[in-house]
Amino acid sequence: MTRRLSCLSLVILFAMTANTQAQQTRPPSLSGRSTVYAPRGAIATSQPLATAAGLAVLGAGGNAIDAAVAAAAVLNVVEPHMTGIGGDLFALFWSARENKLIGLDASGRAGALMTREELIRRGRDGMPGRGAEAITVPGALSGWSALLAEYGSVTLAEALGPAIRIAEEGFPVTPIIAGQWAAEVDKLSANEGASQTYLVGGVRAPQAGEWFSNPDLAATFRLIADQGPAVFYGGALGQRVVDGVQLLGGFLTLEDLATHRPEWVEPISADYRGYRVWELPPSGQGVAALEMLRILQPFALKSMGHNSPEYLHHLIEAKKLAYADLARYVADRDHMTISTDELLSDEFIDARRSLLDPSRAADRPSPGPAVTSSETIYLSVADRDGNMVSFINSVYSAFGSGVVVPGTGFALQNRGGGFTLEADHPNMVAPGKRPFHTIIPAFVTKDNGNGHEPWLSYGVMGGSMQPQGHVQVLLNLVLFDMDLQDAVDAGRFRHMGGRRIALETPITDEVRQALEAMGHEIVDETSVSFGGSQAVMRLPRGWAAASDPRKDGMAAGH
């Protein structure tokens, strides 16, 4: 008997040891990178060549806006499935001169021919997610131009210079981008312009380290540099795009491009423990991040422990409540039936918070009384004068609509897929209307005793991951005093819908089991995107910057 108990004890000890060893194989974070510290300025982007271009602008005396636009143009070349002038742009800019935060909405609207009736007549039972029917007016170029005209110190032609050079001369494709590019070969093959522009020999994606150039995009940028953005918004380039889109059954007209204007907007915000978190107003989903923070405000999250089952459960459940409201109410702000002030009011938030069960996962919460995936770049820049810009530019899905008008060199976005055909919904498709948007830049100011001062410019790319990513990175910093790079690296959750959640590798097996016991369904995380963050933080003197290891990017300073 004693011998049997001894053997059993050895088996239990071995099992415990094996389980411990298995858990120890999970890395505590995703990167060995250090936070970048710099005295004069800093930049973080999702691709090294873009970071280098922006840093060169800063080093030559340019400001944060100059560097951001230069970097964004380079990203159009080197990360074409994510971004470009065929997409939209949003930005939050801290103007040191004005000592205030400024918002820019450079998103486009539905074409004059895009109606619910026409889509239904064509047999569509939902909004198209790819192809010419999904294309809306691209607003990014108008945003680049507006930022430079109002706050820049270089011309648009000068800002486009590095991108033109790289597009003409070529570059070696980075590994993560190469993998994402390869996943879209079928989509690109379906459109002649896309396959000619983005597939080697018209048949395959470039491999990691393989040289790639885009002479058509270089020519397009040269045309814009010579004639200004009007050549696109109503001029010869715009006519070429419209003709190509209409040939494929799309809904854009030249008048749609000619009448497009970016809009300066008032950011919206919510306070959280001495910090004020800022987002842009709808049609973006930034209000969901603010609603999450307001729901979570009274909970003792820090004492629960970082990424503990209880902590993650509260964040996940707050996300479900906020996103239910997002799906029901958020649309073009001119068409919403409930304001963001109402969504963030004490009465509304208290009612939503009362539905959060601290021990049991909800299935699909209903919205309070009265979405989509995304391929995006995010970058952040700060300069020696104290200007900071939180900048996000996207074509929505990978390579957007999958349509490249031959000879232009850039993919057109599929933001029309953000609309709904549901009658009388605030986000119902209609001509001249902004679709629901996933891309959101974030900014944080800090209470210094005499008001709020700029502190953090950051974002997390990745469709519906963005608001839940904003909250997770912020709490890493505010509650757990993490170093900036550690806050970006730390393992994340992504709520997928219903009770389904994905958890990144560093989150332990014990936590996963505890969450399952609460009713959460853990899905395989290997094919799930947990976003890509870039961040720049103001220090008492100088700057800190971090770049997400989930992307090919880098942070740098000078």
Query: Distance between CA 461 and CA 45 in Å, rounded?
Result: 11
- Residue 29: predicted pLDDT: 58
Reduced 3-state DSSP string for 232-271: CCCCHHHHHHHHHHHHCCCCCCHHHHHCCCCEEECCEEEE
**Run means of pLDDT, 10 residues per run, the chain, 558 residues:** 36 33 48 89 97 98 98 97 96 96 96 96 94 97 98 98 98 96 97 97 97 98 98 98 98 98 96 95 86 96 97 96 84 78 92 95 70 68 98 94 98 93 90 86 92 94 87 97 96 93 94 97 92 95 96 95
Q: Phi, psi (5° rounding) for residue 148?
A: -65, -40
Whether the CB-CB separation of 429 and 111 falls below 8 Å is answered with no
- Which residue(s) pair with 99 in the sheet? none
Query: Which residues belong to the active site?
Result: 376
Containing H/E element for 175? helix 175-182
Reduced 3-state DSSP string for 463-530: CCHHHHHHHHHHHHHHCCCCCHHHHHHCCCEEEEECCEEEECCCCCHHHHHHHHHCCCEECCCCCCCC
Which of 281, 277, 284, 242 minimizes the C-alpha distance to 259?
A: 242
E strands in 340-489: 375-382, 388-396, 442-447, 452-461
Containing H/E element for 278? strand 275-279
Secondary structure class of 272 (helix, strand, coil): strand
Contacts within 8 Å (CB) and 24+ apart, 362-368: 362/317, 362/320, 362/499, 363/498, 363/499, 364/320, 364/324, 364/497, 364/498, 365/320, 365/321, 365/324, 366/324, 367/324, 367/325, 367/327, 367/328, 367/329, 368/321, 368/324, 368/325, 368/343
Write the Ramachandran bin of 461: left for phi over 0, alpha for psi from -120 to 50, otherwise beta: beta
Fold of 31-285+371-492+530-558: Glutamine Phosphoribosylpyrophosphate, subunit 1, domain 1 (3.60.20)
Q: Per residue in 235-268, pLDDT tens?
A: 999 999 999 999 999 999 999 999 999 999 999 9
Place of tokens 């399952």: 516
Place of tokens 């990360």: 79
Rg (Cα) of the chain, in Å, rounded? Answer: 24
- What are the C-alpha distances in Å from 122 to residues 115, 128, 244, 428? 11, 11, 19, 17
Q: Per residue in 154-200, pLDDT tens?
A: 999 999 999 999 999 999 999 999 999 999 999 999 999 999 999 99
Whether the CB-CB separation of 489 and 34 falls below 8 Å is answered with no
Whether the CB-CB separation of 433 and 113 falls below 8 Å is answered with no
Query: Distance between CA 400 and CA 266 in Å, rounded?
Result: 28
Secondary structure class of 137 (helix, strand, coil): coil
Query: Distance between CA 309 and CA 556 in Å, rounded?
Result: 35
- Residue 67: predicted pLDDT: 98
- Residue 215: predicted pLDDT: 98
Place of tokens 């629960």: 304
Query: Distance between CA 554 and CA 45 in Å, rounded?
Result: 6
Query: Distance between CA 353 and CA 342 in Å, rounded?
Result: 15
Exposed/middle/buried for residue 32 (C-beta within 10 Å: 0-12, 13-18, 19+): exposed
Domain boundaries, the chain: 31-285+371-492+530-558
Query: Distance between CA 373 and CA 285 in Å, rounded?
Result: 12
Query: Distance between CA 36 and CA 194 in Å, rounded?
Result: 37
